[in-house]
Structure 1
Amino acid sequence: MLTINDFTMIKTKILYLILAGLFFVLPFQVNAQEESDLSMVSATISNRTGYVLKEVHIQAFNSKNRAVTNEDGSFSIRVENEDILIISHLGYEKAVVYVKEGNLESDTIVLKQWGTIEPQEDTNIALGSLPFERITGSVERITGEELNDFPTPFVREALAGRLSGLTTSYGDASTVTESFGNGIRGQEVGQLYVDGVPAVDIVLTPAEVDDVIVAKDYGSTFMFGTLGAPGALIVNTKRGLPGERLFRITSNTGVRTPAFLPSTMNAQDYARNYNIALSNDGFSPIYTQNDINDYATGNNPVRNPNNNYYEDFVNGISTYSHVTGDFSGGNEKVQYFSHLGYYTTNGIETVGEGRKSSRIRLNNNVQIQFGDAGVVNLGVGGSFNKRNEPKLSANDAFNTMYNYPANALPYKVNDTIFTSSREFSRNLLVDLAHSSIIEDIRRDAFARVGLDLNLDKVTKGLTLKTLVGMYVLNVLTDVIEPTPHTAEPIFTLENDGTYRVSGLRNFINGEDRFQFKKLADRVDRTQFINANLSYVRNFNDNHKVIADLFFNNQKLTGSTLAQNVIFRNIGARVNYMFNQKYVLEGKLLNAPIRQLSKDEKKKVNYDAGLAWLLHKESFLKNASWLNFLKLRGNFGVQSRPVSQFFISENLYKRTNAGGNFGVDGGQTGSTGTNRIFTASNLITPKQEYLSIGLDFQMFKSKINGQLNYFNIRNYDQIISPGNLFAFLPTAYLPLINYEDSRFRGIDGNISYSNKIGNLSYKIGVNATYGVNYTTLSNDTTYPIGEEQRNVIGNNEVIRGLKAIGIFQNEAEIASAPTQLFGDVKPGDIRYLDFNNDGLIDEKDYHEIGTPSRVDFGLNYMMQYKNWSMGIHADGKVGGSYIEQLNWNRKANDYTNELANSWPVSNSLPRLTTLTNTNNYRNSSFWLKKAGYLNLRSIMVAYSLPQALLKDLGVKEFSLSASTKNPFVISYSDQRFMPSRNKGYSQHPVLRTFELGVQVSF
């Protein structure tokens, strides 16, 4: 029987086929005229700095002729009387040049370099666009072509280190569930908009992206409402160009290996050091010298195993491939773009069926212009993902490898029975190769229809833009759950000193089950509608107005949501430019939060901004080196989104179990009739945003950049006040408006591009500095004498004890102030009595360090003749962190570094098998430097010369070689510093080596 999900996918496929057919049957082909009927046009092509560009490709749409610029940057081409030229060159955005009556408008054509924004260029911001010179907020733009020099199928990863204020973190590093997160100015990205439609879970590839706008403050995100408060990523996918015919195929194949794996002890070293830990605790050793010898020699492998989990299970290479095909083109009335991508990868484990994933991605765009009345924008697509892997997640597998010592348990008792024990119950050979297997199918689909109407006949300068879109995510998960025979062996000592398996305990009789059964079914939907009535009018050169009225509504439904979520915004924006150099902007928005009272829902947020185009002032008119300089600022207050909570009784009513509602953890009885709180006293949580900045271009746009100051305040936040009402049961705490915090800082970027002979290059640096402050907190408030422990004020600090060494003997312990963190022995950490009261306790906690406050990115791109290269890196400067890697391991595995524990050296305290509250707490002893440089990617490519390709009918043919995550420079070789748990308790980040080929026709 067909389900709703099946119908959704069928409709998506039918719509895609219709559009695909439309692309290929539209009458874009125009018969070429005889050569004698054609006109010859000539021009010179250069960049904005005045350098002429050779090897530029020119394609005439109607005449079908092609040309390439020579050493002087000039070309000649035969065209029809009315024709369109498409001009393309590596490192520059494509240009469309029209031939009218057999002539070009100019004999000089200037191409725009990647990564620059022209002052008059319309730039996408919240629910609309404005000329860049009139935007009062901080925005940065990067093209999809620039992102293509990063070897990844994920746009979110390709953004790493590229733009100021934007950070990129490693999410799940497993090959089959790989994900990345982005943050803007210390906050998670509020929303991802793809062609105007919000789609948080969508997986985009750089090949389908035209550009990405990072909107960082209220000057550019305010009209998004609550979801735009933390900033937004605005992605525009590619469109066809009038006069273009392009078919591009790209294929990339690579291998991946772990960028970092821990160094842990073998069985004999672990047994030796564990005996030392027992001795330190006053216990007798449990491993005999014969045991240690057997670990080393391999005798008695069942009783004395010596496992190397990383060699046994990870000594492999993950392979992957990524193939995309792009079709684009059109005429002056209709343009189209179609993207089809296929991605497949496997895991790095070497036993069992392994982890395998494949993904098909579709994206189709059509723009149809009907006369002078307007444009219809259509988009449809989606992806189909299939994943097979053991039920044991990749993160859990690596957590087991890190925590299980090499002698934990053998993999097998014999050929039919696998081992298991109460202490170490997980057998990795079973879980990865002989146990449950998950088959996961993830399908998402999107569709959007936009209509832009020119209402000039009603009122000059009036347009209406509407957009309706839907995004659907469906995840189906099945599982096969065979159970192998498992048991814990019982050993008997033989006369010759060896051991035999004399019995089994905790035996589980396995069962082969090879039929899939349903594990989960997830369906999420996002429905979106937006309307923008825009009025654009230049009354004269001194008075220019852009006014917009907005309405948008976003509804989220799904099986993972306890209730439907609706975001509705109604607002207005007025942008006024005076004397071509002064900009004033005001915005009003009603963005209600559904759970709050009616009065709260009526409240209006506001934002005001201004911009001053300094380069147009008379006092800078003689500054020929200055192309563009804008001083801007904006200030606003916006609603903040809240976590889900319920305001009505009896939302859950069960007979067999308690209901969950109200605050997290709030439990009711079996009927679910208790009401935890009311929302009548809650007010809207808010964010206050001040942003001041400069945008600049200098020396014929060789230097581009911006510098920003920001001050973000979050207040009236809705919390469950555990410390304020500590006497109440946590399940029945009310919700209240409390807490006030600020994040202040600066961010900026600067890039320098130049051309020397055949060498063109661009160097870019960006950085963000930010500090958190708390002025009102739910945390405990400490009395006089312990003020240094309070979080009020600058709470972005590391608090702990000051360590002054390790106690060497009992005499040192007796002469030192008493430490009240348990029984202290030689080999334990010695602390400073910070408050001089003769005792070492929590009152001696104080600031001992700060986390890193500076994020930075480095980017280098160059072209030399037909060679190109891209290098990208990011990292942190300064700061510290508390290293907990070698805190009490008890019976878990030991890293090789623990062999240096006291008394071997004073770099680590004594080993212990017990909880040690003296040693394992925040202190300067564990403080490590947090700075690092992570080289994200290097790509080198070679393109065949255009002069050769022109005669072959090929527009582009290039070969590339790249690597990702080749190395990290840091103060620690024990951690992968960009994500310190990767490789230990989580799947490691992978190092990639890739070869690629790209052909365009």
Structure 2
Amino acid sequence: MIKTKTLYLVLVVIFYILPFGVEAQEESALNAVSATITNKSGDALEGVHILASKSRNRAVTNENGSFSIKVQVKDILVLTRLGYERMVVYIDNGSLESESIVLKQWGVIEPQEDTNIALGSMPFERITGSVERITGEELNDFPTAFTREALAGRLSGLQTSYNNGSTVAESFGNSIRGQGVGQLFVDGIPSVDIVLTPAEIDDVVIAKDYGSSFMYGTLGAPGAIIVNTKHGLPGGRLFRFKSRTGVRTPTFLPNTMNAQDYARNYNIALSNDGLSPIYTQSDIDDYTNGTNPVMNPNNDYYEDFANGISTYTHLTGDFSGGNEDVQYFSHLGYYTTDGIENVGEGRKLTRLRLNNNVQIKFGNTGHVNVGIGGSFNKRNEPRLNANSAFNTMYNYPANAIPYKINDTIFGRTQEFGTNLLVDLANGNIMEDERRDAFARIGLDLDLSEVTEGLTLKGLVGMYTLNVLSSFLDLRPHTAEPVFTPNGDGTYETSFREFSPEKISFNFSKLGDRVDRSQYIQANLHYNRDFSKNHKVIADVFFTNQKLTGSQLQQNTIYRNIGLRANYLLNEKYVLEGKLLNSPIRQLSQDERDKINYDAGIAWLLHKESFLDSADWLNFLKFRANFGVQSRPVSQFFISEHQYGSSGAGTFGVFRGETAGAGGSNRVFTASDLVTPKQEYLSVGLDFQMFNSKVNGQLNYFNIRNYDQITVASNLYAIIPSNYTPLMSYGDSRRRGVDANISYNNKIGDFAYKLGVNAMYNVSYNTLSNSITYPRGEEQRNAIGNQGGRIIGLQAAGIFQNDAEIASATPQLFGEVKPGDIRYVDFNNDGVIDEKDYHEVGKSPRVSFGLNYMMQYKNWSFSIHGDGVLGGKYVEQLNWNRGINDYTQELANSWPVSNSLPRLTTLSNSNNYRTSSFWLKDASYFNVRSIMVAYSLPQNLLKDIGVKEFSLSGSVKNPFVISSNKERFMPSRNKGYSEHPVLKAFELGIQVSF
């Protein structure tokens, strides 16, 4: 096998040699050609830039969309304009085939255009599933280096979440119809993440159901994200340089009490519990005056440690071009950022990104597609990760510990063991390097000489990830001061040592990670029009993916063999069928041999005679598909032993031992387990109306996941958990609708596009490892009910005095005092206990996105946002946290107001449990990004060889609209127990040559 490094170097040389051989010019007489450029709605497009590849001449359309340019006898025109996809027009015999050219607008349906779906592409009008597509140019108006984030709110059925808000570990998650993302493909190769920036992307396709994702097999069952990187176009070279620089600050930080307010309220809590206060007035005065910072510290953690501003710079350079035989694209990106901590060296991340594509045509029989790239990431930060640091700030009261006791000793206690000044500025430092690389070679071979319409397609790819981590161990002198009072009001100070001296080590390895993915795909593709009324597309697939790595207990292999056939009858009716063997290798041979299936139909209604008179209708497709697909399971070995005392009920070998720590041994095989399966029904409409100004789709989906492998422990209450068997038992459903609609229009120099998308989805628990409650308590059952229900007690205010408590229905959750929550006897049995639990609310069911883009002459503006409508969540922010910090909101606790129950230092089992008292509105709308840009007029640029020069200003996460001002609603823990999400202010410049 060729070494990865050798292959990488060879392909890099190919990429950087080929471009210099593809620009040979043909000298010939120049001819003038003229044409008019419009969009699909028929609007004339002013300001379209036209480049003649071989004559090197340039032109710009006038207000009527017309242009004239001198070209060679055989030439290539490249057409570009903001809001439209780049287009190539060939000149033959010195003339254009048509004097009317239509540019494709972003987001407008093109029925005949091939759209990427699982393991191939197909004309949009013949796809029987729900797919949505967005171009990389559209994503570029989002100020981010992360493609997953740029997708937020842009496509229906796709939700984007904040995973990690730390600047040096920033990450985002996507989910399709509430099921996650089953398969992610980048240029045909499976990937675990989208490491690409929007600048590298040609388009992203969301394959939401089996009509579009089925052939990916078990991993594609929840849906797929299909990413295609940019490639060169015939028609000369293009160099695009982009620079973005910005600053970031937290969107939200908690408003916590200072030391004196905390002391006063903690004394109140002690008094409520019948205990004596521990803070004297002298203590409170010292907190206020700052006269004794060691005994009575008053820390403001957010001001002291997180008041910095994070700066970042993102530079990208794209180099692309080619001719009819060779096209190439090369991307080089540099990204650097620091953290918001304002002590020590802080957090720093540097990323270098390389991506190269080349397509080579050989003869008339096919072409080769080669790709190579990767990234190098270097991160330095305190070993205390950013989430842990902010969790400490939130939980530690302002008087927890002094940062320093004297010039050489740092403070800490047994209760509060983290000194942020130590861990952020004077403690361990971690450094890691992440290196990932990919390489792929694809072959498309035309076999029409053997059989008309036959093509052989092959693809081989590999991906590697190496993470090398090390740390510098620094141990400053830490101790807890102990104060012994003297009779005269003074005190003696002694120390309880924790780390008595500072010990420094060189960088030591913390742990390395090595992952490998190898992928091969072969596809025999048949595309034939037997007549105008009979057209067939068929594919036979073979794929094999092997995963190895230090994070895996075993190597994992996914192998698929499948058949797909698509038949178009009378140019109006589509029939599609798919068969796939996608074995789960851990199960028995009988289970591995089973076949998955899917069937789909599509009806092109706009071509029917009864809609001939509907001039307002451009395109209308009804589609439906139904299928059954196997689902993956956790990794394990078949017919092996499970050792260990916990009896978790999973397959696998526990560290290779022959006996568990607890002495319990289990032996079983997979012979009694069947393949977990997903049943998927999807029905929808794709439409285009009013001269292509309105585009959209509407979908209904019904998903069933059954035979899920689980440990059904609640079925075997009398069997020791160590011997609870695995079963094919789980069964759940998810139903919903998603839709999107966009309206684009042009009025003189003003063009705009407004897009709205939304999804409603709800899950149902049909069968699971859940407790079944007896008659009279059925309302508590998960099985047989919708998911997302909030089960709790109905609150009826707060007890004001002992008389109210005495006259109320007894509450059996511990001692009840004035200031405690009063509950309703739901089942009317004379007591309030767990039997009174019932549904008190539901989590949000509706998510949505709003997108607006406009252009006026050389100005452009865009705004994007997403959110949820309706639903509740349980606010646990102000539940008892022992001696931990208090938010300012707790100052309103009873008896100041009835908005919160009484303060307590104990674990109050009456108050701090799920009830309607703690429910809050979960609705919000998060403005994700706003951007304004100005491009210099083309008439000023064309004579100096510059294709584009633009300036931009943008802001990310500027504000959230919600009824809750105490939370960052899109991710409620961010800023409290986790690093906050950041807002960004950015300036950018883009130049193209």
Q: Structure 2-normalised TM-score?
A: 0.98
Report matched runs for 1:402-801 at 5 Å: 402-493=394-485, 497=489, 499=491, 502-649=493-640, 662=650, 671=659, 674-792=665-783, 793-801=785-793
User: Match of 1:417, as an amino acid?
Assistant: I
User: Match of 1:602, as an amino acid?
Assistant: D
Report matched runs for 1:303-318 at 5 Å: 303-318=295-310
For 1:887 and 1:762, locate their aligned partners in 2 and report how far apart those are by CA, in whole Å. 46
Q: Does 1:137 align with 2:129?
A: yes
Contact 1:666–1:732, Cα closer than 8 Å, also in 2: no
Contact 1:42–1:75, Cα closer than 8 Å, also in 2: yes
Residue 664 of structure 1 and its aligned partner are, at CA, apart by 9.2
SS of 1:528's equivalent? strand
Which of 112, 127, 144 lines up with 1:120 in the alignment? 112
In structure 2, relative to structure 1, the CA distance for the partners of 1:537 and 1:679 (3 Å cut) is: same
SS of 1:399's equivalent? helix
Give the paired residue count.
989
In structure 2, relative to structure 1, the CA distance for the partners of 1:499 and 1:318 (3 Å cut) is: farther
In the other structure, the counterpart of 1:957 is 949
Contact 1:659–1:670, Cα closer than 8 Å, also in 2: no
Contact 2:248–2:985, Cα closer than 8 Å, also in 1: yes
In the other structure, the counterpart of 2:911 is 919
For 1:577 and 1:646, locate their aligned partners in 2 and report how far apart those are by CA, in whole Å. 45
For 1:532 and 1:665, locate their aligned partners in 2 and report how far apart those are by CA, in whole Å. 37
Contact 2:695–2:742, Cα closer than 8 Å, also in 1: yes
Unaligned runs of 5+ in 1: none
For 1:645 and 1:436, locate their aligned partners in 2 and report how far apart those are by CA, in whole Å. 37
Contact 2:647–2:721, Cα closer than 8 Å, also in 1: no
For 2:788 and 2:484, locate their aligned partners in 1 and report how far apart those are by CA, in whole Å. 58
For 1:29 and 1:266, locate their aligned partners in 2 and report how far apart those are by CA, in whole Å. 73
User: Match of 1:608, as an amino acid?
Assistant: A
For 2:722 and 2:972, locate their aligned partners in 1 and report how far apart those are by CA, in whole Å. 34
In structure 2, relative to structure 1, the CA distance for the partners of 1:202 and 1:113 (3 Å cut) is: closer
In the other structure, the counterpart of 1:75 is 67
Residue 662 of structure 1 and its aligned partner are, at CA, apart by 3.1
In the other structure, the counterpart of 2:991 is 999
Q: Structure 1-normalised TM-score?
A: 0.97
In the other structure, the counterpart of 1:377 is 369
Contact 2:184–2:191, Cα closer than 8 Å, also in 1: yes
User: Match of 2:776, as an amino acid?
Assistant: G
CA RMSD for the aligned pairs? 1.8
Contact 1:668–1:674, Cα closer than 8 Å, also in 2: no
For 1:477 and 1:459, locate their aligned partners in 2 and report how far apart those are by CA, in whole Å. 55
Report matched runs for 1:209-220 at 5 Å: 209-220=201-212
Residue 491 of structure 1 and its aligned partner are, at CA, apart by 1.6
Contact 1:361–1:383, Cα closer than 8 Å, also in 2: yes
Contact 1:275–1:285, Cα closer than 8 Å, also in 2: yes
Q: Does 1:348 align with 2:336?
A: no
SS of 2:713's equivalent? coil
Residue 671 of structure 1 and its aligned partner are, at CA, apart by 4.0
Residue 775 of structure 1 and its aligned partner are, at CA, apart by 1.3
For 1:216 and 1:510, locate their aligned partners in 2 and report how far apart those are by CA, in whole Å. 59
User: Match of 1:978, as an amino acid?
Assistant: P
Deviations along 1:498-544, one digit per CA (max 9) or x if unpaired, are 655x2111342223314100011101111111111011110001100
In the other structure, the counterpart of 1:22 is 17
In the other structure, the counterpart of 1:821 is 813
Which of 18, 42, 51 lines up with 1:50 in the alignment? 42
For 2:670 and 2:22, locate their aligned partners in 1 and report how far apart those are by CA, in whole Å. 60
Report matched runs for 1:56-95 at 5 Å: 56-95=48-87
Contact 2:641–2:651, Cα closer than 8 Å, also in 1: no
SS of 2:681's equivalent? strand
Contact 1:751–1:765, Cα closer than 8 Å, also in 2: yes
Report matched runs for 1:788-937 at 5 Å: 788-792=779-783, 793-937=785-929
Residue 683 of structure 1 and its aligned partner are, at CA, apart by 0.2
Contact 1:694–1:708, Cα closer than 8 Å, also in 2: yes
Which of 267, 285, 299 lines up with 1:293 in the alignment? 285
Q: Does 1:166 align with 2:158?
A: yes
> Which stretch has the larger CA shift, 630-639 or 675-684?
675-684
User: Match of 1:429, as an amino acid?
Assistant: L
Deviations along 1:436-467, one digit per CA (max 9) or x if unpaired, are 11101000000000000100011000001110
For 2:490 and 2:241, locate their aligned partners in 1 and report how far apart those are by CA, in whole Å. 64
> Which stretch has the larger CA shift, 484-493 or 881-890?
484-493
Deviations along 1:119-143, one digit per CA (max 9) or x if unpaired, are 0000100001110000000000000
SS of 2:351's equivalent? strand
Report matched runs for 1:159-308 at 5 Å: 159-308=151-300
For 2:485 and 2:821, locate their aligned partners in 1 and report how far apart those are by CA, in whole Å. 42
In structure 2, relative to structure 1, the CA distance for the partners of 1:794 and 1:882 (3 Å cut) is: same
Residue 108 of structure 1 and its aligned partner are, at CA, apart by 0.7
Residue 496 of structure 1 and its aligned partner are, at CA, apart by 7.0
Deviations along 1:897-928, one digit per CA (max 9) or x if unpaired, are 00011111111011111111110011000010
Unaligned runs of 5+ in 2: none
Which of 142, 145, 151 lines up with 2:143 in the alignment? 151
Residue 564 of structure 1 and its aligned partner are, at CA, apart by 1.0
In structure 2, relative to structure 1, the CA distance for the partners of 1:799 and 1:659 (3 Å cut) is: closer
User: Match of 1:859, as an amino acid?
Assistant: N
Residue 888 of structure 1 and its aligned partner are, at CA, apart by 0.8
Deviations along 1:306-334, one digit per CA (max 9) or x if unpaired, are 00000000111000000000000000000
Contact 1:666–1:730, Cα closer than 8 Å, also in 2: no
Deviations along 1:472-497, one digit per CA (max 9) or x if unpaired, are 11101001111010100112446775
Contact 1:646–1:662, Cα closer than 8 Å, also in 2: no
For 1:833 and 1:537, locate their aligned partners in 2 and report how far apart those are by CA, in whole Å. 71
Residue 21 of structure 1 and its aligned partner are, at CA, apart by 2.3
Contact 2:648–2:722, Cα closer than 8 Å, also in 1: no
Deviations along 1:229-266, one digit per CA (max 9) or x if unpaired, are 01000000001001131000000000000000000000
In the other structure, the counterpart of 1:987 is 979
Deviations along 1:843-885, one digit per CA (max 9) or x if unpaired, are 0001111111000000000100000011000000000000000
For 1:611 and 1:345, locate their aligned partners in 2 and report how far apart those are by CA, in whole Å. 49
Contact 2:526–2:539, Cα closer than 8 Å, also in 1: yes
In structure 2, relative to structure 1, the CA distance for the partners of 1:815 and 1:394 (3 Å cut) is: same
User: Match of 1:368, as an amino acid?
Assistant: I
In structure 2, relative to structure 1, the CA distance for the partners of 1:429 and 1:731 (3 Å cut) is: farther
For 2:490 and 2:678, locate their aligned partners in 1 and report how far apart those are by CA, in whole Å. 71
Deviations along 1:204-226, one digit per CA (max 9) or x if unpaired, are 10000000000000000000001
Residue 26 of structure 1 and its aligned partner are, at CA, apart by 1.6
SS of 2:148's equivalent? helix
Residue 13 of structure 1 and its aligned partner are, at CA, apart by 5.0
Contact 1:383–1:445, Cα closer than 8 Å, also in 2: yes
For 1:271 and 1:824, locate their aligned partners in 2 and report how far apart those are by CA, in whole Å. 25
SS of 2:907's equivalent? coil
In structure 2, relative to structure 1, the CA distance for the partners of 1:661 and 1:558 (3 Å cut) is: farther
Deviations along 1:52-75, one digit per CA (max 9) or x if unpaired, are 111110000111111111121111
For 1:563 and 1:477, locate their aligned partners in 2 and report how far apart those are by CA, in whole Å. 23
Residue 778 of structure 1 and its aligned partner are, at CA, apart by 1.1
